[in-house]
Structure 1
Amino acid sequence: MTTTRFAPSPTGYIHVGNLRTALMNFLIAKKAGGTFILRIDDTDPERSKQEYVDAIQEDLEWLGITWDRMERQSERLERYEQAAEELREKARFYECFETPTELDLKRKKQLNMGKPPVYDRAALDLSEAEKEALRAERGNGHWRFKLIQERIEWTDGILGDLSIDAASVSDPVLIRGDGQFLYTLASVCDDVDFGVTHVVRGSDHVTNTATQIQIIEALGGAVPEFAHHSLLTGPQGEALSKRLGTLSLRDLRAAGVEPMALVSLMARLGSSDPVELRENMDEVADGFDIGHFGSAPTKFDEQDLYPLTARILHEQPFAAMAADVKAAGVPDDLAEQFWEVTRENIVTRKDLATWWDLFANGAEPEIDEEDRAFIAEAMALLPEGPFDGETWGTWTKAVKEATGRKGRGLFMPLRKALTGQSNGPDMSAVMPLLQVVKARG
């Protein structure tokens, strides 16, 4: 059974970088008919908040990413202690007492000597008496996993064959001095216990993966298939990390982005496959292949979401938009007519209210100075309502005959005078809505 997981920390809102990881893991499981786990990494009690847990679920559901089960690491602390004890018994776990300042000095010394800044394992030489003295002086130490210093090799689902020399990596800290379990131990223990078969995450985790493979093996677990996707950049290749706070899913939702526009883009971004707008998650999963993604940094431009959003909305039947049209304030008897007139002239659902305000309350006329006399003469020729589908053609013909204007010089100023805009729906279809609205006072 294919089993994947998405493991956010509830310390903030999900952004597009998180989404890429969540979506890839979800699609792998969905395509294989497997299990997708939502795992909340909330071992940090100070930073984890329930409001973010709720927000994570809400954002994923908005996109159509559903989970088969949900786990919380805060409820598994006893299991992590069991795993830690198992590693102690196997002599793969040792207590260290260096302060952050001491570790920093060690790293600087190694760098000055041209050596990699790797922990020197000095704590392994401590006697029990020395450890007791350090505990009395500094409190409990932090615990490191003892790596077997050999090459760690695996075939990555995106990056291909990878090999990292464990001797070039510090033994990872798995438990802090205050007893808090860190990500690596909790994550590995969960992956082993939950039978996770595939893990997709960012390329900044490659070194973590190497050490986690050894921890998994030390705990007797099966090593999952790993794949590391490229990191997102801005449209010009600039680092996106500083902007991720403004690219949360809830911000994009508030801006009017349609969920399938976001999913369709993110499911193909960075791959050799073209972005294709899909109608549902089944279609997205059918066309998804993790092996089609590359290792190069992937450019993300949020503006690319709006043409896709517009295409989705333009194709919607009235029944699918009726609630939104009603919410914009359109009377029921005009709702379907209004939608047919405006459907190809909106980018997001929020634009519906803008169009209805124009029809209901009129627009501030946009009249160029050279057109003022022309518009005054044209408005005098505008027939009394009610307007209908023939009014625009009849009126513009009369204005043409009276003023001699034609083509763009005739139609554009009249459109601007009535709608305040230089483009929009066919005016023959707009006029009846303006007429009915005026009649309603």
Structure 2
Amino acid sequence: MTELENNRPATVRFAPSPTGYIHIGNARTALFNWLFARQNHGEFILRFDDTDEARSKTEFAEAIRADLEWLGIVPDTVAWQSKRGEAYAAAADRLREAGLLYPCFETGEELERRRKLRLARRLPPVYGREALKLTDEDRHRLEAEGRKPHWRFLLPNFADNPFETRRTEVHWDDVVRGPQTVDLASMSDPVLIREDGTYLYTLPSVVDDIEMGVTHIIRGDDHVTNTGAQIALFRALGSEAPAFGHHNLLTAASGEGLSKRSSALSIGTLREDGYEPMAIASLAVLIGTSESVAAMGSMSALLELFRPDFASKSAAKFDPAELTTLNRALVHDLSYEAVADRLAAMDISGPKADAFWTTVRKNIDFVKDAARWWSIVENGPVRDETLDDGDLEFVREAFALLPPEPWDGATWSVWTDAVKSATGRKGRALFMPLRVALTGIRSGPELADLLPLIGREGTLARRP
């Protein structure tokens, strides 16, 4: 378990864009932050990065919050960046006054031409700060042509002349990856404000982190390079940066990155498919770490294993089959009390519901699979399998030997012993035809436990 120096509480944030549904990779980031905050007696902030007004939707934000709560993550604070425009404008003004935020008028096509030209000259494909050479007259002319500027943050990677950059290292001790270094001279000045006046992620994020007292930023390792520029921006705004941690990403089994635009692996879809929240949480946290992936029965159990630095440095491939394996292990251990409400919603209730669940849970992958077995118990076998003529005659003879009621866990043994004596059959040749006749399936729960649930009358009704 990770402890901060002097037991200082940690304040972390999970900042999704409500432009789609979160997937298991997003859940990994949320869970790393949640577990870290809980280990360090801290606060978890859910902060919606909804500054992209065209794509952000309230229904996505509501779904994200519901998915997190279903996983067991209840935020201490919820914030919306769309409501904090004044704070971002004030920060932008401070940067302009300090000469650290400058207007640029290049189009995307112009920037791409310059990038290719630099590559042809074997120069790093970074922005050359040509906009700093514009005079007031140049800017007025471009604005008169209808161009609107985007605004870039001037990185502190030079001595006196911004056109003569020099190696400028930013260092931090990453809480996941250990010591890290980024050279600001290898980066373009980041765009903070778009042509339409809306903010990109960087400025609102840094302003919020400062004002909300965030102590640790834990996120995917695709942000490692960005961290250098963000640390510089923290300092430009008069604040020291929080501690950073960058965990490895989850990818699809094919190696492709996960996307919010594909709902196949969204938390909502996985929930609808019947996965338990702790199956998702266990895999999301433990895959790609030094710990073995195992089904944790509770968030408390996961909390005991969690260390932010146990994540490896290579991407972890998400295999849905592994998630099903974890789910199966959890379902097999669920008590009747834990699933009674869900069973009742499937019309599985009454005096034998508890015994029924205990009987079938070891043979299903999802709680919802119990519905099929309840139908078999109550209504008769499915017709997945059929009996050949020899087995058909054997089953008819066996049904004539059914013992009288009351039936209990010993009834199956009493019955099959009688059938064995009468027919000479034993082993698979004896048991499999009876299983098919009773359930219509060649595998499933122990028939010694299933038979009393079916009852003598129900069993006689299945005689072929």
Give the equivalent residue in structure 1 for 2:221: 203
Q: Secondary structure at the match of 1:241?
A: coil
**1:101–1:411 Cα change, 3 Å:** same
Give the equivalent residue in structure 2 for 1:94: 102
2:133 to 109, 125, 128: 125
1:393 to 369, 390, 413: 413
For residues 396-416 of structure 1, what are the alpha-carbon distances to aligned partners after superposition, in whole Å with 9 as ceiling and x for unaligned? 223223322111111112111
Give the equivalent residue in structure 2 for 1:305: 323
Contact 1:202 1:228 (8 Å CA) reproduced: yes
**1:437–1:212 Cα change, 3 Å:** farther
Give the equivalent residue in structure 1 for 2:287: 269
Residue 324 of structure 1: how far off its partner (Å): 2.4
In structure 1, runs of 5+ residues without a counterpart are none
Of stretches 344-353 and 379-388 in structure 1, the one that deviates more from structure 2 is: 379-388
Q: In the alignment, residue 378 of structure 1 is paired with which amino acid?
A: A
Residue 308 of structure 1: how far off its partner (Å): 2.3
Residue 225 of structure 1: how far off its partner (Å): 1.1
Q: How many residue pairs align between the two structures?
A: 440
Map residues 312-327 of structure 1 onto 2, 5 A cutoff.
312-327=330-345
Contact 2:263 2:269 (8 Å CA) reproduced: no
Q: Secondary structure at the match of 1:227?
A: strand
Q: In the alignment, residue 54 of structure 2 is paired with which amino acid?
A: E
**1:240–1:405 Cα change, 3 Å:** farther
Contact 1:329 1:356 (8 Å CA) reproduced: no
Distance 1:270 1:66 in 2: 25
Q: Secondary structure at the match of 2:351?
A: helix
**1:83–1:348 Cα change, 3 Å:** same
1:367 aligns with 2:383: no
Residue 265 of structure 1: how far off its partner (Å): 2.4
Contact 1:367 1:413 (8 Å CA) reproduced: no
Give the equivalent residue in structure 1 for 2:165: none
Residue 264 of structure 1: how far off its partner (Å): 2.1
Map residues 201-280 of structure 1 onto 2, 5 A cutoff.
201-235=219-253, 238-241=255-258, 245-280=263-298
Residue 62 of structure 1: how far off its partner (Å): 0.3
Give the equivalent residue in structure 1 for 2:27: 19
For residues 210-263 of structure 1, what are the alpha-carbon distances to aligned partners after superposition, in whole Å with 9 as ceiling and x for unaligned? 11111111001121111111121334x622436953110011111111111221
**1:285–1:331 Cα change, 3 Å:** closer
Map residues 5-84 of structure 1 onto 2, 5 A cutoff.
5-84=13-92
Residue 55 of structure 1: how far off its partner (Å): 0.3
Residue 120 of structure 1: how far off its partner (Å): 0.9
1:288 aligns with 2:296: no
Give the equivalent residue in structure 2 for 1:419: 439
**1:7–1:436 Cα change, 3 Å:** farther
Task: Supply the RMSD in Å over aligned alpha carbons.
Answer: 2.1
For residues 90-130 of structure 1, what are the alpha-carbon distances to aligned partners after superposition, in whole Å with 9 as ceiling and x for unaligned? 11110000011111111111112211211111100101111
Residue 286 of structure 1: how far off its partner (Å): 3.1
Residue 157 of structure 1: how far off its partner (Å): 2.0
Of stretches 395-404 and 420-429 in structure 1, the one that deviates more from structure 2 is: 395-404
Contact 2:295 2:327 (8 Å CA) reproduced: no
For residues 188-218 of structure 1, what are the alpha-carbon distances to aligned partners after superposition, in whole Å with 9 as ceiling and x for unaligned? 1111111111111111111211111111110
Give the equivalent residue in structure 1 for 2:203: 185
Q: In the alignment, residue 394 of structure 1 is paired with which amino acid?
A: V
Q: Secondary structure at the match of 1:333?
A: coil
**1:315–1:437 Cα change, 3 Å:** farther
For residues 366-413 of structure 1, what are the alpha-carbon distances to aligned partners after superposition, in whole Å with 9 as ceiling and x for unaligned? 234353333343344446777554442333223223322111111112
1:378 aligns with 2:398: yes
Contact 2:438 2:459 (8 Å CA) reproduced: no
Distance 1:273 1:439 in 2: 48
Residue 151 of structure 1: how far off its partner (Å): 2.0
Normalised TM-score (structure 2): 0.89
Distance 1:144 1:340 in 2: 63
**1:334–1:82 Cα change, 3 Å:** same
Distance 1:286 1:391 in 2: 45
Distance 2:127 2:365 in 1: 55
Contact 1:5 1:36 (8 Å CA) reproduced: yes
Contact 2:171 2:182 (8 Å CA) reproduced: yes
Distance 1:168 1:318 in 2: 59
Of stretches 426-435 and 281-290 in structure 1, the one that deviates more from structure 2 is: 281-290
Give the equivalent residue in structure 1 for 2:191: 173
For residues 273-331 of structure 1, what are the alpha-carbon distances to aligned partners after superposition, in whole Å with 9 as ceiling and x for unaligned? 22343333233223311122210111221222223223223223322222223222234
**1:437–1:292 Cα change, 3 Å:** farther
Contact 1:386 1:439 (8 Å CA) reproduced: no
Contact 1:360 1:437 (8 Å CA) reproduced: no
1:409 aligns with 2:429: yes
Residue 68 of structure 1: how far off its partner (Å): 0.9
Distance 1:353 1:69 in 2: 39
Of stretches 48-57 and 316-325 in structure 1, the one that deviates more from structure 2 is: 316-325
Q: Secondary structure at the match of 2:145?
A: helix
Percent of aligned pairs with the same amino acid = 47
Q: Secondary structure at the match of 1:332?
A: coil
